[in-house]
């Protein structure tokens, strides 16, 4: 777009972004006309930024201090360009996801996107590809304060054509939107997109959040993906649907003859996730407000168990639809539920994949399977089935993570150290807050 003084117009900017360890997308912008040139070298970045808490405080004891320089190297295949929306005057949204690298171009071990890419490569070495979709629930703030019943057409209509704009924006950026729906809670909505492969699945999770925020902003509203808007509200989850295929595309989670259709490989994978699940929560449900969600009867999961179509189970075998002769093996997937939008999608997906890979490599036997509400079982019954409770607080989750030496050994030491110092700082910042204050502040951050 040309600019001159007679016809002033905002310069078109393109951003290079990284979604950091606390799941916040940060970056720098440059003139669009210079993007091609800058693709090779990226833009500058600061190591200590990786120790930023959601409160924007850099952790005191982070390993980086004021030293060092990095490059944020954009991935050309990840570009998002949103050209239109309900407010025709709004600036276009244009960004590329990037990896953090050293000034010589070597991978930087604290980058969550690099961690995910490297984990996907480990799956490829096992002749496996990863297909994933993140489902997002969120609240819209600023709607007229009218009662609209759960899941009702009225709840959808009270947003006017927000859903339509959101879906068209997601389609325009290539996120393959599937469904927009009013959820159970007041002013709570959900948006789902088709699964995609590898790192692009976590990039897509970020894109869904950023585009939802952008469309809400253009409507004069705000969206929040916080796990709990206010004490007593209905929780917002991020559910990660995963399936594996051979590199030639053959699905490997499904076995027509097996109980619950779970193949042996899928059993080992699920067993690995369940074994590491209490510790995984430190990475997938990583804030104090996450633990106001991970409670029984929130359909969010409070126990490490696998259930067939059971929404109280941390790992759920999703239904396949047989109507119209749709092939079952391609639909079959497992859903990881103890996740929320305060987690980095790249880090959380990498962590779940690591746990599943360990399960496959060690051929772990599957236990902790139940089709009843695990909370309705007695302690003795849960123990007999091998069902562990998920952590009840961020402190407990952090302790369990550090106690899971097998899982920790799979994470780059610098990433783990930075993450732990950042989370300790965050705990110190939130320890004294009431539930109301906690909900209120995280609704702003996410
Ligand atoms: N809102 C629930 C959660 O926090 C999920 C409800 C559903 O299954 O859609 O995870
Ligand atoms: Mg839902």
- Could you read off the pLDDT of 47-77 as tens digits, one per residue? 999 999 999 999 998 888 788 899 999 999 9
Instruction: Give 287 Cα–ligand 1 centroid separation in angstroms.
Output: 18
Pocket test for ligand 1, best of 136, 179, 300, 343 (most atoms within 8 A of CB): 300
Residue 198 in tokens: 């590898």
Pocket test for ligand 1, best of 311, 315, 316, 335 (most atoms within 8 A of CB): 311
For residue 172, the model assigns a pLDDT of 95
Instruction: Give 54 Cα–ligand 1 centroid separation in angstroms.
Output: 23
Residue 223: count of CB within 10 angstroms of its CB? 25
| Cα–Cα dist 93/213, whole Å | 11
First and final C-alpha spacing in the chain = 33
Question: Burial of 4 by CB count in 10 Å (0-12 exposed, 13-18 middle, 19+ buried)?
Answer: exposed
Hey, which residues does 193 pair with through a beta bridge?
177
Q: Report residues whose beta carbon is within 6 angstroms of any ligand 1 atom.
A: 137, 234-237, 293, 298-300, 311, 337
- Alpha helix positions (H), 180-237: 199-218
Q: Which residue has the tokens 């929040």?
A: 224
For residue 308, the model assigns a pLDDT of 81
Locate the ligand 1 atom nearest the alpha carbon of residue 235 and give its number: 4
Please list the helix, strand and coil fractions of the chain in percent, rounded to the nearest 5, in that order.
Answer: 40, 20, 40
> Which ligand has the shortest distance to the CA of 191?
2
Instruction: Give 192 Cα–ligand 2 centroid separation in angstroms.
Output: 9
For residue 1, the model assigns a pLDDT of 46
| Cα–Cα dist 272/266, whole Å | 10
Instruction: Give 3 Cα–ligand 2 centroid separation in angstroms.
Output: 46
Whether the predicted model's global pTM rises above the 0.85 cut: yes
Instruction: Give 38 Cα–ligand 2 centroid separation in angstroms.
Output: 40
| Cα–Cα dist 308/261, whole Å | 10
Residue 203 in tokens: 């990039």
Residue 230 in tokens: 């206010």
Describe the crossing of helices 264-284 and 394-403 by its angle, rounded to 10 degrees. Answer: 130
Pocket test for ligand 1, best of 133, 135, 137 (most atoms within 8 A of CB): 137
Instruction: Give 63 Cα–ligand 2 centroid separation in angstroms.
Output: 39
Nearest CA to ligand 1 atom 6: 299
Question: Burial of 319 by CB count in 10 Å (0-12 exposed, 13-18 middle, 19+ buried)?
Answer: exposed
Pocket test for ligand 1, best of 299, 335, 341 (most atoms within 8 A of CB): 299
Instruction: Give 182 Cα–ligand 1 centroid separation in angstroms.
Output: 12
For residue 2, the model assigns a pLDDT of 47
**Cα atoms in the Cβ-side hemisphere of radius 13 Å centred on 145:** 0
Three-state DSSP state, 22: coil
Instruction: Report the candidate in 23, 55, 25 with the shortest Cα–Cα distance to residue 438.
Output: 55
Are the beta carbons of 61 and 421 closer than 8 angstroms? yes
Nearest CA to ligand 1 atom 4: 237
Q: Which residues of the chain have pLDDT under 50?
A: 1-3
For residue 7, the model assigns a pLDDT of 63
Locate the ligand 1 atom nearest the alpha carbon of residue 311 and give its number: 8
Instruction: Give 137 Cα–ligand 2 centroid separation in angstroms.
Output: 6
| Cα–Cα dist 295/338, whole Å | 10
* Ion ligand 2 neighbours, Cβ < 5 Å: 190
Pairing of strands 93-102, 80-82: antiparallel
Residue 326 in tokens: 């749709």
Instruction: Report the candidate in 303, 291, 301 with the shortest Cα–Cα distance to residue 427.
Output: 291
What backbone phi and psi angles, to 5 degrees, belong to 22? -100, 15
* List of residues 6+ apart from 434 with CB closer than 8 A: none
Are the beta carbons of 431 and 424 closer than 8 angstroms? no
| Cα–Cα dist 139/189, whole Å | 6
């Amino acid at each position: 777009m040309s600019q001159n003084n007679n016809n002033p117009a905002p310069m078109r900017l393109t951003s290079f972004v990284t979604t950091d360890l606390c799941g916040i997308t940060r970056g720098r912008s440059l003139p669009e006309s210079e993007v091609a040139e800058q693709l090779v070298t990226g833009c500058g970045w600061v190591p200590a930024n990786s120790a930023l808490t959601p409160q924007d405080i850099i952790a005191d004891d982070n390993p980086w201090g004021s030293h060092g320089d990095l490059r944020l190297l954009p991935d050309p295949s990840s570009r998002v360009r949103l050209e239109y929306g309900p407010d025709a005057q709004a600036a276009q949204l244009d960004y590329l996801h990037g990896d953090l690298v050293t000034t010589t171009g070597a991978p930087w071990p604290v980058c969550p996107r690099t961690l995910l890419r490297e984990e996907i490569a480990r799956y490829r070495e096992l002749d496996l590809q990863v297909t994933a979709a993140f489902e997002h629930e969120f609240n819209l703030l600023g709607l007229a304060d009218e009662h609209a019943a759960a899941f009702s057409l009225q709840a959808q209509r009270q947003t006017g054509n927000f859903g339509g704009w959101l879906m068209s924006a997601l389609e325009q950026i290539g996120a393959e939107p599937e469904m927009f729906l009013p959820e159970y809670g007041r002013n709570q909505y959900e948006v789902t997109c088709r699964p995609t492969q590898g790192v692009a699945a976590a990039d897509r999770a970020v894109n869904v959040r950023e585009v939802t925020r952008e469309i809400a902003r253009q409507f004069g509203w705000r969206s929040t993906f916080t796990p709990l808007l206010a004490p007593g509200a209905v929780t917002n989850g991020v559910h990660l649907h995963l399936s594996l295929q051979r590199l030639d595309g053959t699905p490997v989670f499904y076995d027509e003859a097996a109980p619950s259709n779970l193949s042996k490989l899928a059993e080992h994978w699920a067993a690995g996730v369940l074994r590491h699940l209490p510790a995984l929560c430190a990475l997938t449900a990583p804030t104090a407000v996450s633990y106001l969600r991970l409670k029984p009867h929130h359909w969010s999961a409070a126990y490490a168990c696998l259930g067939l179509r059971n929404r109280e189970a941390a790992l759920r075998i999703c239904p396949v639809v047989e109507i119209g002769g749709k092939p079952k093996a391609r639909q079959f997937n497992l859903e990881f539920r103890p996740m929320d939008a305060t987690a980095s999608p790249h880090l959380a997906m990498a962590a779940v994949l690591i746990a599943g890979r360990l399960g496959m490599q060690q051929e772990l036997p599957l236990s902790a399977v139940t089709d009843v509400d695990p909370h309705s079982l007695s302690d003795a019954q849960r123990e007999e089935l091998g069902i562990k409770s998920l952590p009840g607080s961020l402190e407990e989750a952090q302790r369990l993570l550090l106690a899971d030496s097998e899982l920790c050994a799979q994470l780059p030491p610098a990433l783990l150290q930075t993450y732990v110092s950042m989370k300790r700082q965050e705990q110190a910042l939130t320890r004294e807050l009431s539930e109301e204050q906690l909900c209120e502040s995280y609704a702003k951050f996410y």
